[in-house]
Amino acid sequence: MPLIRRLPKRGFNNAAFHKRYAIVSLDDLNAFKAGTAVNEQLLRESKLVRGHFVGIKILGDGELKHGLKLEADKVSAAAREKIEKAGGTITLRDKAGRPHAAATRKASAKETTSEAASEGTRKKKSKTSAKAKKKAARES
């Protein structure tokens, strides 16, 4: 029997909730012309980022030779310093633009409560129980 089957499985693994960011270094950004607005779409077209990820993180590896307008989710302190030194600007992406799981759950909970409220405005049926109906049937 394999070792993995013989070992006990205990605890909680949080790997399913791990957020993966696409990493872009400053050296990679030198491929763009000065003043270019660099966003996720442009990075995908230039094949600098691939696959599925939550957002983009810019790291300060290397030097940026000219100013760029960057749009990213996270930026390291070293990268921010080097970008501003080169004359570029950084815009952090709005997290409100993406639906968050908790917000989705709250919205669906509001929908169910509004549906229940609309059902409450309909004509109410009499509240005669099944036992009472049987009892009335026997007596008659």
Domain of 74, CATH number, reads 3.100.10.10
30 within some domain: yes
pLDDT at 99: 42
Q: Long-range contacts made by residues 115-120, C-beta under 8 angstroms, separation at least 24?
A: none
Structural contact between residues 66 and 34, judged by C-beta atoms closer than 8 angstroms: yes
Q: Is residue 4 part of a domain?
A: no
The verdict on residue 90 lying in a domain is yes
Is 12 inside any structural domain? no
**46: containing domain:** 18-95
Q: pLDDT tens digits for the chain (140 residues)? A: 899 888 888 888 888 889 999 999 999 999 999 999 999 999 999 999 999 999 999 999 999 999 999 999 999 999 999 999 999 999 998 875 454 444 444 455 555 555 555 555 555 556 677 778 888 888 87
Other CB atoms within 10 A of residue 80 CB: 15
Q: Is residue 74 part of a domain?
A: yes
Q: What is the pTM of this model?
A: 0.58
How far is residue 24's CA from residue 44's CA, in Å, rounded to a whole number? 11
Q: Specify if 83 maps to a domain.
A: yes
Is there a domain that residue 60 lies in? Answer: yes
| Number of structural domains in the chain | 1
Please indicate, yes or no, if residue 135 is contained in any of the structural domains. no
Query: Which CA distances in Å does 129 have to 103, 126, 134, 135, 136?
Result: 40, 9, 9, 10, 11
Structure confidence at residue 109 (pLDDT)? 54
